[in-house]
A = this chain, B = another copy of it.
C-alpha cells in the first residue's frame, strides 16, 4: 500500500500548478466572481475561455482522450492530480458534454468522417455541446423517451421535446437519444444516438428557471427538424448501448472531492469572520462538529475514489463504484452548501440575483450562498437520482 506520489507524479503536479498559475485568466476570475455576487448566469465565454486555453496545451482539455485524437491521455493518477490542482486554484470547470460525453462516444462508435468533423471542435472548445436525454415525463425512466426520428430519404425528421437540457441556450450542437423504432419489443430497443446542429430550423430552446433564479437548464423542442443521416452514430436502434457506455465511461471526478474540499476551506474562512455568541463562529462547537463530520466523510470518499482509481490503473476495470461516488459526492456537496448558508446567518436572505435589485448588501462572501444551497438540491436528482443509484448498487453489487 502506498499513496505517496512518484517523482514523475510530483513533477506533473508542479507542471499543472505552474501552468494554471501562468495561464488562468484573471479576467475570467473577475467575471465569474462579479456574476456570483450579482447572481447572474455565466456567459458562454465564461464556460469556454479556460477550455480553449487548455485545448491549446497538449490536449489538457480532454484528460482521458487517447493521444491519437488529440487528448492528454493522462494516467488515472495524473487525472486525479489535474483535478485537484484545478479545484485548488478554483478554475472554472470544463463543461462535460463535449469532452467527457459525446467525444468518447464519437471516437469509440463514430466513423472517420464524424471523428474528423467533431473531435477537433470539442477539444478546442470552439464547439459547445449539450445533451438531449431527458424528456418531460421520462425522468429517471430514461428508456421511456418519445422524441421520434423518422427516416425520409437521407435525413431523419425529428419531432419531440427534450427537457433539463443544461446550457442548451449556449450550445452549437446537441447529442440526442431518439426513437427510431416505436414498435421494438422493449423500450430500450429502437433508440438511436443522433447529433443535431442547434441552428437547424425547427429547434427551439426555452429557458427553465431554477428556484434560485438561475437559467442553467432549458426545454429543447424539435419540430420537424431535418437531420442528415450522416449524423447518426453507430447503428440505428443501438443508441441505448452507446448511452450506457457513456454512463459507465467517465467516473473520474464524479465525486467532486477536490471541489468540496475547497468549499469546506471557504466555509472555514467565512466562519472565522462571522461572529456567533460574541466569538468567531469557527469556535462554536456545534458548527465545528458539522464541519468536521463533512470533512471526515469527504476524506473517506477521497480514499474511496483513490481505491477506484488504483483499481483502474491496475487494469482491473471499473465496477459500479460510480454510483457510490455519485451518492456520497452529491451528499457532501449538499451538506457543504448548507453549511455555507448557515454560516452567514441573516445574510443568507438577500437575493442579489433578482431582476428587482442588484445592489450588494452584506459581506462579499455571503453572496448567493442560499441560492447555492437551493440550486444544489439538484445534485441528488440529476445524473440518475440517488434513489436510482441505490437501485443500481442493489442490483449490480449486492445482487438483490
Contacts of A285 in B (CB 8 A): 285-286
A13 to chain B minimum Cβ distance, whole angstroms, is 38
Closest to A284 in B: B285
Question: Secondary structure of the A side of the interface?
Answer: helix
Q: Does A14 contact B (CB under 8 A)?
A: no
Residues of A in contact (CB 8 Å), total: 3
Q: Does A390 contact B (CB under 8 A)?
A: no
Contacts of A56 in B (CB 8 A): none
Q: Does A289 contact B (CB under 8 A)?
A: yes
A296 to chain B minimum Cβ distance, whole angstroms, is 14
Closest to A289 in B: B286
- Expressed in whole angstroms, the Cα–Cα distance for A294 and B109 within the complex equals 58
A125 to chain B minimum Cβ distance, whole angstroms, is 48
Binary contact track A327-370/B, C-beta < 8 Å → 1, others 0: 00000000000000000000000000000000000000000000
Closest to A288 in B: B285
- Expressed in whole angstroms, the Cα–Cα distance for A289 and B290 within the complex equals 12
- Expressed in whole angstroms, the Cα–Cα distance for A220 and B289 within the complex equals 50
A214 to chain B minimum Cβ distance, whole angstroms, is 33
- Expressed in whole angstroms, the Cα–Cα distance for A289 and B284 within the complex equals 13
Closest to A285 in B: B285
- Expressed in whole angstroms, the Cα–Cα distance for A62 and B161 within the complex equals 67
Binary contact track A286-302/B, C-beta < 8 Å → 1, others 0: 10010000000000000
Query: A-side interface residues toward B, CB under 8 Å?
Result: 285-286, 289
**Sampled A-B contacts (3; CB under 8 Å):** A285-B285, A285-B286, A286-B289
